[in-house]
Amino acid sequence: MTERPPRRLLLVHAHPDDESINNGATMARYAAEGAQVTLVTCTLGERGEVIPPGLAHLTGAALGEYRRRELAAAMRELGVEDFRLLGGAGRYRDSGMMGLPDNDDPGCLWQADVDEAAAHLLEVIREVRPQVLVTYDPGGGYGHPDHIQAHRIAMRAAGLAAEAGVGIAKVYWNRVPRAVAEEAFARLAEALPGLAFAGSAVLGDVPGVVDDARITTEIDGTAYAAAKAAAMAAHATQIEVAEPYFALSNQLAQPLFATEYYELARGERGAPGVPAAGGPARETDLFAGIGAPS
Annotated binding-site positions for Zn(2+): 15, 18, 147
> Which residues partner with 40 through β-bridges?
12, 84
Torsion of CA 207, 133, 29, 74, to 10 degrees: -60
Range list of H helices, 60-131 = 60-78, 114-128
Residue 27 dihedral angles phi and psi, to the nearest 5°: -60, -45
Tell which residue, 132, 161, 147, has the closest CA to residue 262: 132
DSSP symbols for 212-271 = GGG--EEEE-GGGHHHHHHHHHH-TTT-EEETTEEE-TT-EEEE--SEEEEEEEES----
**Rounded to whole angstroms, how far apart are CA atoms 15 and 41?**
6
What gap in Å lies between CA 275 and CA 15, rounded to an integer? 34
Q: What is the DSSP letter of 174?
A: E
Q: CB–CB of 181/212 below 8 Å?
A: no
Binding residues, by number, are: 15, 18, 147
